[in-house]
Structure 1
Amino acid sequence: MAIRPIVKHPSDVLEKSCAPVTTFDKNLAVLLDDMYETMIEADGVGIAAPQVGTAVRAAIVDFREGQDPIEMINPELVLYEGSDTDIEGCLSFPGVFGEVERYDHIKIKAQERDGSWYELEAEGYEARAILHEMDHLDGVLFTSKITKYVTQEELDEMIRLQEEEEEEV
């Protein structure tokens, strides 16, 4: 496994629709393993193949302690409902944060690294992370969906207040 450079905006690979994965082999496994290591090194919760310079429909989301990361190959959104607005950031946009509205409950169909299909339902933050990464596969950047930008200082204050509230409970 290797840590790959994260592609930063502006870059053409971030703004193009990715090709479907058709070959499920060792090269795909290496790509997924490298993406995971790169995401962990960058302290991210998700990463898509174009963010490491490869324009294929593969992405990973991982923030559930004690559970395997969610590998999504050729993901499709099959159900979506509700909406929620929250703050997002992106490894390809260091230091940029903003409020983005997304579906709050989703169901996706995607392939595993061996090509087998699975379905997954997600809500809240997990749904948000999955949708963010799926957008990358279509060349859609989160900055095109931001309704209000948030500074690092504002974000730090929000996190501090949230932590205080959690301590009181």
Structure 2
Amino acid sequence: MTVVCYRFSIVNLSKAESLYSVGMRPLMYSTKDAQLNQVGWKRCGENITYFRNDSQNGEDEANISFTLSFNLDFPYDNDLVFLAHCYPYTYSDLQDYLIRLQNHPVKSMYSKLRLLCRSLAGNNVYYLTVTAPSLGDVPRKKKAIVITARVHPGETPSSWMMKGFMDFLTGDSDQAKVRHLTPSIKS
């Protein structure tokens, strides 16, 4: 086994600020590491830099680009490796999560999944309501907070954030249970 180090440079990025400048690292999935050590996605990379590219003649500030560079070791020969900006969270992962939530004997009492619309690609776009059940037959008016995530397909960090938020709201913590029992959220 020979460890090979490569330098990656991703050029022509458009954002002036980057989390890579303050410690964020790319993610790597090695099929060999997964097979041999049951390791999934993990943070990787050394000597990570994010910098402004040199301006071209006459280039205005609106067209400035940036580069992300990092070193990465590949410890296995003949390995299939995937790199990512953040942990992948697919549409299928989301669908599986929503089905588990709706099939859960307790969590389903506090959550209601409804179809909002279909995307241009024909995928279902849901909205999920989490609240204490109405008492009796008469529905009451309740205050509401709307939280959205993953407005664009590549925004998987917001999917992870929303999954964690939903896990908290529907979880067993004392804080989550108090929210289920009170008629409105107090600040």
Q: Please give the range of the TM-score, normalised by the shorter of the 2 chains.
A: under 0.3
TM-score of the superposed pair, with normalisation by structure 2: 0.24
Q: Which one has a larger percent helix, Structure 1 or Structure 2? A: 1
RCO (CA 8 Å, sep 6+): is it higher in 1 or 2? 1
TM-score of the superposed pair, with normalisation by structure 1: 0.25
- Larger Rg computed on CA atoms: 2
